[in-house]
Structure 1
Amino acid sequence: RFTAVNQQWLDTFGYSRGEVIGKWFGDFLSPINREVFNQNFPIFKAQGYKHAEFEVLHKNGNPLFIAFEGKIGYDLDGKFKQTHCILKDITKQKAAENSLRLSEEKYRKITENISDIIWTTDMNLKTTYVSPSIEYVLGESVQDHLKQSLEEKITPDCLIRVHELFSEELEKEKNNKSDKNRTRVIELEHYHADGSIVWLAMNISFLRDEFGNVIGLQGVSRDITELKHARDNLRYISEHDDLTGLYNRRYFEKEIKRLDVENQLPLSIIVVDINGLKLINDSFGRTEGDKTIKQTANILSSSLREGDVLARTGGDEFCILLSKTNIQTAREHLRTIEIACEQYNLKTPNKSFHINLSFGAATKETATVTFQHTYKEAEDYMRQRKLLVGKSSRSAVISSIKATMLEKSFETQEHEDRLSALTKKIGSIMNLSQIEINSLELLSKLHDIGKVAIAERILKKPGKLNEDEWIEMRKHPEIGYRIAMSSSETAPIAEYILCHHERWDGSGYPRKLRGTEIPLLSRILAIADAYDAMTENRVYNETRTPEEAFEEIKKCAGTQFDPEIAEIFVQMMKTKE
């Protein structure tokens, strides 16, 4: 049963988190796939890994084709604990496959009504007859085609293949090993009269005289250019990641099988993971996250040698296979990638969009070691590196995000400093602990960090926001919560950030909490923030005197603000005056 799913899972299948957690995986499968899943799950548990494709039902009832990558998680005793699954929506790929089938059917119907090219040659492979349909298919007259040599008609590679096939068949004929009615099918690139390439599928057999002696070739050629392109396109889709254009996990696993042989040893693998990708997605949206993924792909691609295989094997993970490469050379390759990242970051002023990667490398030296063991060794090393650099990396990104937020909005460092002073003073009067007062100071600086994901035109709009703009603006506490949760230093105040726009009467957002359901520190910040907004110059609000602000706070006590804290605040400020 589900214990956790990410937001992408929920967005893909249309469910809320509450509708998924605790449910059985099979509840979301079509009936046929549910039965197959039940049958295969024991095999999955035994093998520890499973790749499969099946249908999952969207909440609206529509089936989605899904690529399933699953791993079994074990406890310290090696017993089954849980499954870890990655699902990828491949509905478009399946649609492409169906489109290809429809295209092939359409092609067959069309070609049934179009004459194919019928031809004969002599023993020197010079054309002796060609049907008039040559003009439709290749754009040239019968006379012109008969004058041309084979070298002028097909590409050099195809010319070699034709001669090899002809020699092979003649040898079989000589040794009486060939069926007299044998037909060979070959696909060739043929030159069109306009210089373009036409793919022809040729059914070829020997042309014989009345005594059965071979006097040349005869055949029927059909234009398969569109079909060939459709096949190539489908093959590309099935082997490549649609975002980066790199090879995907399916192709990468095929390459492992190809290269995991003794004559390719030592075989090295480099595992690469993007640090902080989730933080970028939460802060700036998936578009910026996708840009980071694509830029990482560009950096990795630029470092490849001939024969290296680079693939995107997960959302934020890449792998490079390096055949005939020892561990020292693999580590030198890592350094090349690190230098490329450093050079890119130097050219990127906004540190929020710097490329920060964690690496792991390992090498299979002998055939007695399984490549799965080598792969796991590289992954383990990468995870260790990620733990070591992750904390400082996330902190740096959050600081950069805050700087970006200040640049694109009317918020200022001075506003944060005033809030910090006010909230700490209130906390002191209320006898809060030093930890809580420190949290108030950090909350004052980061409460609006979620605004980094809000459009600048909304943040800097001089007039009132319309309904659509308000809907967008109200997202910033949740975005700020996710950003804060990404770092251990800011996670303790994440809940306060989420709730700093809740109101005492329950009319706030995002969760419409009421009264003391709202965290105390959020209630303190709300009053200090409102006071500062009223008494400081803001383009969207008329500046009020402190006395006017006090009256407004007292007026809103019990509706917008905690009445006790409102009274403490007003009394504190009047005493200060």
Structure 2
Amino acid sequence: MDKKVDCDLLLQYLQSVPDLFFLIAADGTILDVQHDPDAQLYVDDGRQTGYSIRELLPMATAEVLMTAISESLAARNRIRIEYDLEMPYGVRHYECRIKPVPNKNEVTAVVRDITDINTAFLSLAKSERVYREIIEKSPFPVLIVRKSDGIIRYANRAASNSYRHHSKSILGTPITNMYQRQEDRMILLQKLDKHGFVTNHEIGMIDSDGNPFSSLVSASTIEYEGVPATMLAITDITRQKNGDDLARRSEEKYRMLTEFNSDVVWVYNVTRDRITYMSPSVHRLRGFTPEEAMSQSFFESLSKDSVESVRRTMTTNIEAFAKGGFDDSIITEVQQACKNGAYVWIEMSTRLRRNNVNEIEMVGVSRNIDNRKKAEAEILYLSYNDQLTGLNNRRYFVENFERLNRQENLPITMVFADVNGLKFTNDVFGHNAGDRLLIAFADILKKSIRRDDMLARVGGDEFIMILVNTDENRGRAWIAELESRISAASSHHGLLSVSLGMKTKTRVDEKFDEIYKFAEDMMYRQKAFDRQRFKSDLLYRIKHDLFAAVPEEREHSDAVARLSRMIGIAMGLNPIDVEELELAGALHDIGKIGIDPVLLNKNDELAARESDEIARHPEIGYRILETVEIFSGVGKAILHHHERIDGSGYPQHLKQNEIPLKSRIIAVAESFDAMTRSRPWHAARPIAEALKELKKNAGTQFDVDVVRAFVDDVLPRLPAR
């Protein structure tokens, strides 16, 4: 190297290499550190994050840095400072470049040890040889490029190692091979021609493996080998760039999170009683724009019920925080006002902090828990209330009936009620019909009790009423009135029958359990007495309702009963069987009460699904009659009256003698009357044609002996139609 290199340029080049990257808050707190493992650090690796600069550095040095940080944030400009530190191995000189983070109250600081650079600078003034040695042994790349053709004429050891291509020296190769974009090189040369030097010009370059990297290039025009040349000091700033990109991406990420998250992020300045930030998601939550929400005071946004509890909690926590004794997050459930005047349940997670001017702030995240609160209320309601009737349930009764056991409530009458035939109704007509009975009875009870009385559904068909200030006589009068209401309701809700039992408590020391047991026993006694009467009434009601829905069924049932009796006598059945056969004929279609009347009265041809529905009526009729003891003998006759001799009937596909004789007789009687009777969906067929149909299907659909008895003995005795 035959010309003295510009010392300032050397200093600039050495100073551009970072040893340590810090992310620092405005109050001096170190938020993140990225380090060069070879750097000489002031504290051990990994221990800086979370500390303040004032905790890590001597007071004088820390104040210099804090002043520089404040100036950088205020001016939003980069600032460079130098400072000395007393280290175990001597005094070291450091450079710190401070740069504000966009849109944040934070800075990045790149710190490097420049002790050796300063020493080198002093040595250069004394010795060209020392200067050359420093350049050559420097860990940072230095190149000298001939200006006329851009050929590299000198590369120090670091440059040779970093940029050689396939183990070949880069000497003699064009500098253009190292630029990602040639436009960057032209801009650098233009600046160099204009000013004679360039400091920290950012250029994209390519390393020896062809990988792009970011660099800061300082350049100066010199004379080398007797001709004009350019000296380049190249610093790889990829890590620094990545750090800046990381900060930008982090800022963007958190901005996106606050803007698009369904939760609302907000900051409330406690000292100034002012909301200073509100994320846009407040519009989805409460209908306000962020600006509208920020214009409200913190407590103005809360419901009246929430204000006092929140104010009390906040006051306690803020006082503790101000004394340095509280740093926990707080989760509170409140109601906040919406723009439309409604209130929404909010879960607020908050934490107190101090901002950069030492004011107390509350940082919060608000989440909509309206659905959760409604679900909790629903769960609480269902835990003490019956979902079907809306009455209190057994749990409520068990937990609360003792509270009525006070002298001022005596005498107390307990009434136990049980809805009769609920299982029968569910089995025959479906659970919806059973539910309607329970709801109807519950509505009657609600209208029958007073405000201070207790009413609960304690089982599937069981209810309990506790009537305060009600003696035995008044209790019986109350039951009589209740029975009257039940009777009136039966005409609207089907056959509603209820068995009731009661017991009156006259002393506080009488145990409720004994009163309960006595009332229950009385109810079961009444239920046993009511059972057969209820079932007989039920059968009558079913026939009445069926004939009301399908008027033709009355005449058809009477005719089938008469024909069945005549066939039974003709076939020699004993008088008891003949009576049962006649009854079965009269009730053979009673199961149609469980079929939609629209289907029973339909004039058009039935769809397959509709036919299947009507085919259920023998089974329904069987279940009805089996519940009534006096009719249980005719149940099977009705169940199988649609079976066929060849086994193709329903519901059980019985054949021949597997089919009860009474069922085979009803089948012939029912078919003959159906064919010869006018219905909305077909005209009556002549008797001769019906007779022909019976004979044709004897042995397949009908029993041969039954058809013969009907044709030979019954038909001649029938009146002409």
TM-score with structure 1 length normalisation?
Answer: 0.65
2:268 counterpart residue number:
119
Distance (whole Å) between structure 2 residues aligned to residue 146 and residue 543 of structure 1: 85
1:573 counterpart residue number:
714
Q: Deviations along 1:79-116, whole A, 9 cap, x unmatched?
A: xxxxxxxxxxxxxxxxxxxxxxxxxxxxx999977453
Larger RCO, structures 1/2 (Cα 8 Å, 6+ apart): 1
2:402 counterpart residue number:
260
2:593 is aligned with 1:448: no
1:154 counterpart residue number:
302
1:5 counterpart residue number:
none
1:488 counterpart residue number:
629
**What is the deviation of 1:419?**
2.6
1:509 counterpart residue number:
650
1:52 counterpart residue number:
none
Distance (whole Å) between structure 1 residues aligned to residue 682 and residue 289 of structure 2: 81
Alignment map for 1:2-21 (pairs within 5 Å): none
- Out of 694, 697, 705, the position equivalent to 1:564 is 705
* C-alpha spacing 1:429/1:193, structure 2 compared with 1 (3 Å): closer
Secondary structure of residue in 1 paired with 2:536: helix
Distance (whole Å) between structure 2 residues aligned to residue 381 and residue 164 of structure 1: 57
**What is the deviation of 1:449?**
0.7
* C-alpha spacing 1:116/1:167, structure 2 compared with 1 (3 Å): closer
2:444 is aligned with 1:302: no
Distance (whole Å) between structure 1 residues aligned to residue 677 and residue 347 of structure 2: 78
Alignment map for 1:357-372 (pairs within 5 Å): 357-362=498-503, 371-372=512-513
1:459 counterpart residue number:
600
**What is the deviation of 1:504?**
2.4
**Structure 2 unmatched runs, 5+:** 1-256
Distance (whole Å) between structure 2 residues aligned to residue 394 and residue 531 of structure 1: 31
Identity %: 30
- Out of 286, 293, 302, the position equivalent to 2:431 is 286
Structure with higher Rg: it is 2
Q: Deviations along 1:478-510, whole A, 9 cap, x unmatched?
A: 011111122223222111110111222322211
1:404 counterpart residue number:
545
How many pairs were matched up? 451
Aligned residues of 2:265 and 2:278 also touching (Cα < 8 A): no
1:26 counterpart residue number:
none
* C-alpha spacing 1:258/1:290, structure 2 compared with 1 (3 Å): closer
Distance (whole Å) between structure 1 residues aligned to residue 672 and residue 596 of structure 2: 25
Look up the equivalent residue of 2:706 and give its one-letter code: I
Secondary structure of residue in 2 paired with 1:490: helix
2:413 is aligned with 1:272: no
1:16 counterpart residue number:
none
Distance (whole Å) between structure 2 residues aligned to residue 198 and residue 109 of structure 1: 20
Distance (whole Å) between structure 2 residues aligned to residue 188 and residue 406 of structure 1: 61
2:289 is aligned with 1:131: no
Distance (whole Å) between structure 2 residues aligned to residue 145 and residue 373 of structure 1: 62
2:341 is aligned with 1:195: yes
Alignment map for 1:368-387 (pairs within 5 Å): 371-387=512-528
Distance (whole Å) between structure 1 residues aligned to residue 527 and residue 483 of structure 2: 14
- Range 221-230 or range 369-378, more displaced: 369-378
Distance (whole Å) between structure 2 residues aligned to residue 456 and residue 403 of structure 1: 14
* C-alpha spacing 1:116/1:146, structure 2 compared with 1 (3 Å): closer
Distance (whole Å) between structure 1 residues aligned to residue 398 and residue 715 of structure 2: 74
2:376 counterpart residue number:
231
**What is the deviation of 1:432?**
2.7
TM-score with structure 2 length normalisation?
Answer: 0.53
Secondary structure of residue in 2 paired with 1:462: coil
Distance (whole Å) between structure 1 residues aligned to residue 316 and residue 504 of structure 2: 43
Secondary structure of residue in 1 paired with 2:444: helix
Alignment map for 1:7-156 (pairs within 5 Å): 114-119=263-268, 121=270, 127-129=273-275, 131-133=277-279, 136=283, 138-139=286-287, 152-156=300-304
Q: Deviations along 1:499-550, whole A, 9 cap, x unmatched?
A: 1112223222111222222222222222222222233333445534444434
Q: Deviations along 1:426-460, whole A, 9 cap, x unmatched?
A: 33334433322221221121100111222334323
Secondary structure of residue in 1 paired with 2:344: strand
Secondary structure of residue in 2 paired with 1:272: strand
Q: Deviations along 1:382-436, whole A, 9 cap, x unmatched?
A: 3222222232222222222212222333634333333333222333334433322
**What is the deviation of 1:471?**
1.5
**What is the deviation of 1:120?**
5.2
**What is the deviation of 1:325?**
5.9
2:536 counterpart residue number:
395
Look up the equivalent residue of 1:119 and give its one-letter code: Y
Distance (whole Å) between structure 1 residues aligned to residue 286 and residue 521 of structure 2: 58
* C-alpha spacing 1:484/1:128, structure 2 compared with 1 (3 Å): same
**What is the deviation of 1:199?**
2.0
Distance (whole Å) between structure 1 residues aligned to residue 404 and residue 446 of structure 2: 26
Secondary structure of residue in 1 paired with 2:580: helix
**What is the deviation of 1:472?**
1.6
Higher strand share: 2
**Structure 1 unmatched runs, 5+:** 1-107, 210-214
Secondary structure of residue in 2 paired with 1:260: helix
1:65 counterpart residue number:
none
Distance (whole Å) between structure 1 residues aligned to residue 262 and residue 303 of structure 2: 28
**What is the deviation of 1:475?**
0.9
Look up the equivalent residue of 2:268 and give its one-letter code: W
Distance (whole Å) between structure 2 residues aligned to residue 364 and residue 437 of structure 1: 56
Look up the equivalent residue of 1:319 and give its one-letter code: F
